[in-house]
Amino acid sequence: MTKPYVLGVDVGGTNTVFGIVDARGQVIACDSIKTQKHAEFDDYVAELHDSVMRLLKANDAEDKIQGIGIGAPNANYYTGEIVNPPNLPWGPVIPLAEKVSAAFGGIPVAVTNDANAAALGEMTYGAARAMKDFIMITLGTGVGSGIVVNGNMVYGHDGNAGELGHLVMKRNNGRMCGCGRTGCLEAYCSATGVARTAREFLEIRQEPSSLRNLDIEEITSKDVYDAAKAGDKLAKEIFDYTGNILGEAFADMVAFTSPQAIILFGGLAKSGDLLLNPIKESLDRNVMPVFRGKTQILVSELKEGDAAVLGASALGWEAKRKAEVSAIAETPA
């Protein structure tokens, strides 16, 4: 019997990364294409197919792919579609699963949004392997989330559940968020949110900071991190401010699902104790007493370079299992 593989695909606004993954979570090989090279979605799928087939041939994996999992912005697990994608040119509704499955000869395909894919990857290969109840928070350009309850991803009745990055943290005079509302968690605790906090602190406060040596409009979260690591007091206070808001949000999340852990992934998660300590202190201050001390704050165990592909590949195994169950159900008695 040939060794089975799945294909994990991460559709980003700039690049689409794809990889061959075995049942142990080893990424055998991966490659990428430019996501927005083609104006027509069918042309994009054709290039994806051709590039994947070259990778499969180079790794003796032709005819061994048994499922395809795809993580993409605004992807709906139930419908297999991308709906109103913010950074893709083919909307408003893209039949992602249907088109990709057809291109690959009917191989089962499952899709979900990128944060849900990260949660599935963590549950299959990472820090949540032994957990049935946890929340994955991705701290990148935005704040994404995936919620797992009793071993199952929470999708809601329409496939859109779990947008915890858009919990409203500041109901009066909050920052404008990309979703169109104000005061969202994402507006404060994403990488771009940290940069916004830095600009506000520098404009409002008078104390010296090495950040004042930078073009205020070009400051990034990485600049704030570097300054804080070097001992800059104002930069540390920016992390305290960010961690405090995250801790407040996590206290509410814990009340929703009582998770074993909240697992952090993304660039800001690499900030270590600069961010983790204020998060934990704020969570402990704000959580209901019955939940205090019961939820761990962990950092993802997935390798950053493989995480997107691994997360999507976990969905590929799910697509394979569902296809097998469906085939058994349709077999005449």
| CA pair distance 9, 309, nearest whole angstrom | 6
Output the CA–CA distances (angstroms, integers) from residue 305 to 30, 70, 311, in the order listed.
Answer: 10, 16, 11
The torsion angles phi and psi of 18, rounded to 5 degrees, stand at -140, 150
Q: What is the pLDDT of residues 111-153, one digit of tens each?
A: 999 889 989 999 988 999 989 999 999 998 899 999 999 999 9
CB 85 within 8 A of CB 300: no
Q: How far is CA 118 from CA 62, 95, 234, in A?
A: 26, 22, 32
Looking at domain 131-299, which of 3.40.1830.10, 3.40.640.10, 2.60.120.260, 3.30.420.40 is its CATH number?
3.30.420.40
pTM score, whole prediction: 0.90
Instruction: Give residue-wise pLDDT tens across range 183-232.
Output: 999 999 999 999 999 999 999 999 999 999 999 999 999 999 999 999 99
* Between residues 36 and 327, the one the model is more confident about: 36
Nearest to 60 by CA among 91, 22, 105, 87: 22
Range 61-70 average pLDDT: 95
- Residues of each domain in the chain carrying CATH 3.30.420.40: 5-117+304-330, 131-299
318 phi/psi in degrees, rounded to 5: -65, -40
User: Cα 178–184–190 angle (5° rounding)?
Assistant: 75
Q: How many CB atoms lie within 10 A of CB 196?
A: 16
Confidence class of residue 303 from pLDDT cuts 50, 70 and 90?
Answer: confident
Just give the CATH number of 5-117+304-330: 3.30.420.40
pLDDT grade for 322, boundaries at 50, 70 and 90? confident
